[in-house]
Chain A
Amino acid sequence: MKILVCMKQVPDMESKFRINDQGSWYDESDLAWRMNEYDEYSVEQAILLKEQVGEGDLTVLSIGPKRIQETMKKALAMGCDRGVHVNDVKVHEKDPFEIASIIAEFAKDKNFDMIFTGMQSQDRGSGQVGVLVAEMLNLPCITTIVDFAFDNGTVNAKRELEGGVKAKVSAQAPVLVTCQLGLNSPRYPTLPNIMKAKKKELAVVEVGDLLTVESRLETPKISLPEKKSGGLILEGEVGDLVEQLVTLLKERTTVFA
């Protein structure tokens, strides 16, 4: 069984973000980088599927500059067999349509039996790439899955809807699924597996070799949101903070009444 999982590296969301000089994106210096949270679930599900069928080849693909190889190594240490790094220093300027086209161009003649993506990326969060890849490859696509079962070529998945309701959906492989938070429990790579991952293949492909389309969105203007006034910010010693908050709660709420 041939499986593809698409993974994106994103900045840690607790970072302090600054705007770059062009005002088109966040400044990438001094940020900590990690695996897109949604993709942790898709990588895990791809590995679980490979373990279930007992044989196969699992490729992790990621588009971005050289730094993404660190995160790709984590995916390899978790259990992917090989990595394909699509080298693109300007990945942040690509729109979801271009990213999807790159992935589809890579996948089109490889006959993957299953493709996994996250439902969205944490930084840009378009939620488009997975669906677009499926449509470009003419594959059935099930989005936002919180439950996945594979039985003899049939995918039975549950889509998460609003308010805790789920929709039960099935399709015949090859299928592309986009993974939602909580789908499984992503494993931590063990030390022996981190060592083994160093020997796994990590091929580099230049983005120019796979990109055949043009962007459909203008370069965006990015800014910090205006701070909503009204909210009070308390800083200082814990003891003082406690007293200040208790006073505020007494003044402005009826919880002690």
Chain B
Amino acid sequence: MKTLLVAEYRDGRLLGSTYDLVAFASQLGGESAMFLVGSDSDLPQYDGTLYLADSAKYGEFNPSVHKQLLLDVIDKEQPDMVVFNHSSYGWDLAPRVALAMGAAQISEVVDIVDGALVTPVCNAKLRREIKAKTAKCVVTLQAGAFTLSGEPSGTVAVEKIECDAKSLVVFNGYEESEAGGVDLSKAEIIVSAGRGIGKPENLEIIRSLAKALKGEYGASRPVVDSEWAEHNRQVGTTGQTVSPKLYVACGISGAIQHIAGMKKSEFIVAVNTDRDAPIGEVADVLVVADLKQFVPALTERLAG
């Protein structure tokens, strides 16, 4: 199996998720090469060829141009598999490249079983094993599913690449999230509210428990999207990453993007009416109960 790994750059820096690609490739075995739109100032530690296009010239986000740069390399290298991270960069670029190659794409791979690739279905309540029918294929890897066992090492053999494709979109720069507010990453105890709270008034139940435990309250994304809580309370890939001594997830199903932000907590309690909720996979204790009854009862017990 020959793989081509598509590394990522953001704001002039190589993203650490690049090494997930390397871990995946070494699990598959065989040759690999790497592709990056970046610069000499921050190169990956990797033993192999790095096809490098200049991000100052081609932009860090420019799908039609990055696609063409990548297709030229694919033409030359003839990989069996082109591997991306399932990230805002990867899920945007991968289908474009797959279509141009006439190749199948398998998204959000979490495992390899007997040559088939495993992907989650229905919020990870199910999983499926898929194979491509096409000779070549494109895959995207779920964040954190494949990681290097040791520190990255190696030296790349850089080969500079160019192209003159036309861009269809204009990238006007980044916008940082508003700073300020609570820093949940420092909290020792976090009680988080999910969509299971049902209505904004019920956030008070969660805040009261957080207070009784002398901790902070957090929230899942739908609670923030509905403006029931501030964005600086959001835990997950597009919110904060936390690792408290105790994390209590109330009415949170346990989507991968939420789990990614809290799985390093020392002790995880989940309160959920659904015994099969995927949060059970990471919880030390899953309390199967209606949070509207259980959480106030717990708060009262702690206060009394």
Contacts and interface: CB of A to CB of B under 8 A. Distances in A.
A215 interface: yes
B232 to A, nearest CB: 9
Interface string A218-239: 1011111101101111110011
A243 B297 CA distance: 10
Given A162-B238, A182-B225, A168 B286 contact: no
A199 interface: no
A171 interface: yes
Interface stretch (B120-128, B151-159, B198-206): B120-128
Contact of A234 (B169, B172, B286): B286
B238 A163 contact: yes
Interface stretch (B24-32, B47-55, B74-82, B95-103): B95-103
A159 B238 CA distance: 12
Nearest to A101: B99
A225 B288 contact: no
Given A17-B122, A131-B96, A162-B237, A233 B88 contact: no
A160 B274 contact: no
B257 to A, nearest CB: 10
A231 B281 contact: yes
B134 interface: yes
For A119, A143, A158, the residue with the greatest tally of chain B CB atoms inside 10 Å of its CB is A143
Given A170-B170, A216-B132, A230 B284 contact: yes
A165 interface: yes
Interface string B63-96: 1100000000000000000000011110110111
B-side interface mostly: mixed
B23 interface: no
A215 B108 CA distance: 19
Interface residues of A, number: 77
B149 interface: no
A34 to B, nearest CB: 13
Contacts of A185: 226
B95 A131 contact: yes
Given A132-B95, A181-B221, A238-B294, A220 B302 contact: no
B284 to A, nearest CB: 6
A233 B288 contact: yes
Interface string B147-187: 00000000000000000000011111111110000000000
For A26, A97, A139, A235, the residue with the greatest tally of chain B CB atoms inside 10 Å of its CB is A97
Given A217-B132, A218-B133, A238-B289, A160 B221 contact: no
Interface in A151-188: 158-171, 181-182, 185
Interface string B207-244: 00000010000000110111000010000011100000
Interface string B101-123: 00111111000000010001111
Contact of B121 (A14, A26, A144, A182): A26
Interface stretch (A53-61, A189-197, A247-255): A247-255
A231 B280 contact: yes
B269 interface: yes
Given A13-B253, A234-B285, A241-B289, A165 B168 contact: no
Contact of A164 (B61, B238, B301): B238
A80 interface: no
B105 A96 contact: yes
Contacts of B297: 238-239, 242
B238 A143 contact: no
Interface in B263-304: 266-267, 269, 274-277, 280-289, 293-294, 297-298, 301-302
A182 to B, nearest CB: 4
Given A140-B169, A231-B286, 7 more contacts: A126-B107, A161-B10, A181-B225, A215-B133, A223-B127, A234-B288, A255-B213
9 contacts: A16-B276, A126-B107, A165-B174, A165-B175, A167-B173, A227-B281, A231-B280, A245-B298, A249-B269
